[in-house]
Chain A
Amino acid sequence: MIPAWLLDVFAAVMLVVAAVSAARLAAARLRAGVDANADVDGAHLLMGISMAGMLASGLHTLPNNVWVAIFVAMTVWFAWRVYADSRGRTVGALAAGHHLPHLVHSAAMVYMFAAVTAGSSTGGAGMAGGMGGMGGMGTLRVPTLGLIFILLMTGWVVVDLDRISRRPERRAELGQLRSVLWRHRAAAVAGPVVVMPVAVAAVAVAQTAGPASGSSVEAETATGESATDQPEGRALRGLLDHRTADGCRIAMGVTMALMLVLML
């Protein structure tokens, strides 16, 4: 049997993910009033809480049926977002965004809660109506679907790792662009002769940075300054950075794949 302390470690990681996601939601509202990624952070928050409860019986919160309803709604929401994103975009671009992976994550959560065998859900954890504690968990119905989810999770984890480890070089490009903007800030009022080449470069860098970080590049180049220019803004910026959300998704993907493997 897998040691309980090891499951507790993964449960703790999920709680950290939930806490970070809650902080991101709050910080985004404080900063701009509107959180463009509220659905993504909200999904991380709910998944973190539910998965922590699945891993450690002491962290069990809601009955299975409630979680199934929540994740079905989440799956429908992200399916709609993917559909909306799909207009004029390639499959690769969709996969690189946030919504398709979250659609898969949400669907995997529905599967985990709905397909677990009845005997296991009342098993060792002793939590009526719930599936808290992997120690008492049995097997999943339709295990082939579970394997497909596992392969998707692991694939997205490595692609996410690759993307966020690629960003520093892009950030260096952005830093150079920002320095150009600062140097010639005064000249920017001179007219389109100055602004246009900079805008062209900004668009080029934003396109290179990809869809996930493109919006932040555009926002920064539009104002000519960023939250990093203020000391108190650095922590906020770090919290709201896309890499933080990516990191949450990586942790969630690994943990979800582990849970699926344990339940196969």
Chain B
Amino acid sequence: MVSDSTALSAGRLGGRASAAAGQRSGDVDLRRWFQLGLAAIWLLDAILQYQSFMFTRGFSQMLAGTAAGNPAFIAEPITWAARIIAQHPVPANVGFATIQLLIGFGIAWRPTLRAALAASVVWSVAVWWFGEGLGGVLTGGASPVSGAPGAVILYALLAVLLWPVSEPAKSPAPFVAARPSGRLTASLLWLVLWGSLAYLAVTAANRTAQGLHDMVAGMADGEPSWLAATDRGAAGLLAHQGLSASIVLAVVLALIAVGVFLPVPLHKAAIVLALVLSAAIWVVGQNLGGILAGGATDVNSGLLLALIALAYWPVAAVTRGTPDATEAPAS
């Protein structure tokens, strides 16, 4: 009797352990890795927020500068917030950095994942308005190459796409980003994101002959020699080619936007294209977020676009609503 019950108990434990191991090594891990990627970016943002420049009046002046060109109802709150930060730069910046640090830690710490993701959405929207002037999308000067529609709003989008779900469902999701809300909603979000980037690529400011050239060439100052040389080389290619370059960019972005509605091989091709374009934008157009030049407040949009694209990579048997490893019962 004793040996039987021991065997049963041990078998149950072993089985549970195996199941847990399987769950960890299966599809749920992929989403967790993306969540950890988001957490790492938040953590990096927090660390960047501790830079010396952020404790000076230059930071508040930078924020105030995002009001320019925006409608009054958007611009006035930005100016008001920048004035407050200018009056109390140290406590304000310590607060900002600490909030971002807590969000990063909270996403990485399994029990606080949901709360941290929810907080990240609220914080991202607030910063998008008060810190980035809605990414300049209403000013007419925003470009996907320089970071439109604003890196911070992409954090909010990622939080939604990577939201942990706990209710079981029958239909399998074709990619990780479809798990919380289903394929259609996730695909529409993708369409809106990349479609808006395609639109922004051909706005008047970006169609000028030297628009893209000036933007890329202007990034070289303060960067390491290899990155500055890359900027100068890319700027040379774009010289007087603003219109054609912006049209090509818009076409590529539009193809990416519709890619998730296509059959799997074309869907995969669109994701690869999105990854390559994101990397190119992050390196050439955004100089790795400008971190190496100092004064960067975040990693800019290229890295986040790449993370979003990875969340749309078609994977087999991602069961929508499968309990997340972060929510696995303790016993």
Where the two chains meet, the residues of A that have a C-beta atom closer than 8 Å to any C-beta of B are: 1-3, 6, 142-144, 147, 150-151, 154-155, 157-159, 161-162, 165-166, 168-170, 172-173, 176-177, 180, 183-184, 187, 190, 193-194, 197-198, 200-201, 204-205, 207-208, 254, 257-258, 261-262, 264
Contact = CB atoms under 8 A, between A and B. Distances in A.
A165 B111 contact: yes
A3 B92 CA distance: 13
A208 B47 contact: no
24 contacts: A6-B50, A6-B94, A154-B43, A154-B44, A155-B40, A158-B36, A158-B107, A159-B108, A161-B105, A161-B108, A172-B331, A173-B20, A176-B13, A180-B10, A184-B2, A194-B6, A194-B7, A197-B11, A197-B14, A200-B10, A201-B9, A204-B18, A254-B47, A257-B47
Contacts, number: 146
Nearest to B325: A166
Nearest to B21: A208
B316 interface: no
Nearest to A257: B47
Interface in B312-331: 325, 328-331
Contacts of A207: 17, 21
Given A180-B9, A197-B11, A159 B52 contact: no
A262 B9 contact: no
Nearest to B22: A208
A177 B16 CA distance: 11
Given A6-B94, A177-B13, A197 B47 contact: no
Contact of B110 (A142, A147, A154, A166): A166
A149 B292 CA distance: 13
Top 6 closest pairs, chain A to chain B, by CB: A161-B108, A201-B10, A197-B10, A204-B17, A158-B108, A204-B14
Given A161-B108, A190-B3, A151 B44 contact: yes
> For chain A, what secondary structure do more than half of its interface residues adopt (helix, strand, loop), or is it mixed?
helix
B51 A2 contact: yes
A238 B21 CA distance: 26
Interface centre among B18, B44, B109 (most CB of A within 10 A): B44
A200 B111 contact: no
A264 B13 contact: no
Interface residues of B, number: 51
A261 B47 contact: yes
B288 interface: yes
Contact of A144 (B55, B110, B226): B226
A198 B43 CA distance: 42
B71 interface: no
Interface in B11-32: 11, 13-14, 16-18, 20-21, 24, 32
B62 interface: no
B280 interface: no
Interface of B: 2-3, 5-7, 9-11, 13-14, 16-18, 20-21, 24, 32, 36, 39-40, 43-44, 47-48, 50-52, 55-56, 90, 94, 101, 104-105, 107-111, 224, 226-227, 288, 291-292, 294, 325, 328-331
Contacts of A264: 291-292, 294
A183 B48 CA distance: 54
Contacts of B291: 147, 150, 261, 264
Given A157-B40, A168-B330, 7 more contacts: A1-B56, A3-B55, A142-B224, A150-B291, A162-B108, A173-B16, A201-B14
B324 to A, nearest CB: 12
A261 B2 contact: no
B52 to A, nearest CB: 5
Nearest to A152: B40
Contact of A162 (B36, B44, B50): B36
Nearest to B226: A144
A155 B56 CA distance: 29
B288 A147 contact: yes
A40 to B, nearest CB: 21
Contact of B13 (A157, A162, A173, A258): A173
